[in-house]
């Protein structure tokens, strides 16, 4: 199948504005399952990839808003280990998206002090996708603002198996005994070892599941679901999710 080419959207976005009354108790780490791009396009009689392109524009808005709100980490689920099952033209387009996104948006990310990181098996991505991501990581490595953590070729079960194998090797090497393995041991072997667990996990598009996203890390995350499809999930609703989070009582099993 021919790869459907869509031009990058260069239209000037209106400036992202955030509410000033939101500054107390902002979730430090927000994770988002950006779902519903395909349905967004289908509703308009467009090919699914048009939804992914529109979804990418929304990433820009939400990254800006998160940075302005002084969120510390924003983890975005961009491609799961199961998404390889999709038709090849869609997969190709999704592999191309980070390249286009970073080509157009990296200077702004650098300027806005955003640091790009990824979680997932990056070495299995196409070479040019890896190159674009590596370049973005290098150029933003010293930035101290929002960490934009992109989950790409990410699957939580794979992440855990990979960590367990590493732990087994370390036990075999005699670094520590089986009895010394704790929750921290596993946490420190996950891709997210340097990050705190998400405080708030958002999923768009009305699906009420985690789809292999941060299963270990989200043990005590506050969950927030919306029917809105990802391309339509704008700053106002992002703020609504945060306001809702701020009202919640996190007990972690206590009283």
Residues 81-110 that bind ligand IPE (CB under 6 A): 83, 94
Of ligand IPE, Mg ion, none, which one sits near residue 192, judging by CB under 5 to 8 A according to partner kind?
none
37 part of the interface to ligand IPE, by CB under 6 A: yes
| Residue 56 CB coordination number (10 Å) | 23
Is there a catalytic annotation at residue 153?
no
Residue of 9, 25, 35, 232 marked catalytic: 35
Cα separation of 202 and 209, whole Å?
Answer: 11
Residues 217-246 that bind ligand IPE (CB under 6 A): none
Is there a catalytic annotation at residue 83?
yes
74 part of the interface to ligand IPE, by CB under 6 A: no
Residues near Mg ion (CB under 5 A) are 35
Of the pair 167, 231, the CB lying nearest ligand IPE is at: 231
Residue count, binding to ligand IPE (CB under 6 A): 17
Pick one of 27, 59, 71, 79: the residue that binds ligand IPE (CB under 6 A): 79
| Contact between residue 34 and residue 79 where contact means Cβ atoms under 8 Å apart | no
Pick one of 18, 29, 30, 38: the residue that binds ligand IPE (CB under 6 A): 38
| Contact between residue 202 and residue 242 where contact means Cβ atoms under 8 Å apart | no
Residue of 25, 67, 83, 184 marked catalytic: 83
Nearby residues of 117 by Cβ (< 8 Å), 6 or more positions away: 137, 147, 148, 149, 150
Cα separation of 104 and 13, whole Å?
Answer: 13
- Cα 133 from chain centroid? 14
Rg of the chain over all Cα atoms, to the nearest angstrom: 19
Residue 80 CB, nearest distance to ligand IPE (Å)?
4
Cα separation of 31 and 59, whole Å?
Answer: 13
Residue 168 CB, nearest distance to ligand IPE (Å)?
29
Pick one of 135, 187, 211, 228: the residue that binds ligand IPE (CB under 6 A): 211
| Contact between residue 156 and residue 215 where contact means Cβ atoms under 8 Å apart | yes
Burial of 119 (0-12, 13-18, 19+ CB in 10 A): buried
Write out the binding residues for substrate: 36-40, 48, 52, 80-82, 84, 86, 203, 209-211
Binding footprint of ligand IPE on the chain (CB under 6 A) = 33-39, 77-80, 83, 94, 205, 207, 209, 211
> Which residues form the catalytic set?
35, 83
């Amino acid at each position: 199948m021919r790869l459907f080419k869509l031009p990058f959207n260069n239209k000037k976005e209106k400036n992202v504005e955030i509410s000033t009354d939101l500054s107390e108790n902002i979730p430090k780490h927000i994770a988002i399952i950006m779902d519903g791009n395909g349905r967004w396009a289908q509703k308009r009689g467009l090919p699914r990839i048009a939804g992914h392109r529109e979804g990418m524009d929304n990433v820009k808005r939400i990254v800006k808003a998160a940075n302005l709100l002084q969120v510390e980490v924003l983890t975005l689920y961009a491609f799961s280990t199961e998404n390889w099952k999709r038709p090849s033209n869609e997969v190709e387009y999704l592999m191309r998206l980070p390249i286009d996104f970073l080509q157009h948006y990296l200077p702004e990310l650098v300027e806005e002090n955003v640091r790009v990181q990824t979680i997932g098996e990056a070495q299995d991505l196409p070479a040019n996708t890896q190159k674009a991501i590596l370049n973005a990581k290098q150029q933003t490595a010293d930035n101290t603002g929002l960490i934009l953590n992109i989950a790409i070729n990410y699957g939580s079960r794979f992440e855990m198996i990979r960590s367990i194998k590493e732990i087994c090797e370390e036990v075999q090497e005699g670094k520590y005994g089986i009895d010394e393995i704790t929750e921290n041991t596993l946490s420190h072997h996950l891709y997210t070892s340097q990050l705190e667990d998400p405080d708030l996990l958002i999923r768009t598009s009305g699906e009420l599941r985690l789809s292999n996203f941060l299963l270990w890390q989200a043990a005590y995350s506050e969950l927030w679901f919306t029917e809105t499809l990802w391309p339509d999930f704008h700053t106002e609703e992002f703020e609504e999710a945060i306001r809702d989070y701020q009202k919640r009582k996190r007990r972690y099993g206590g009283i």
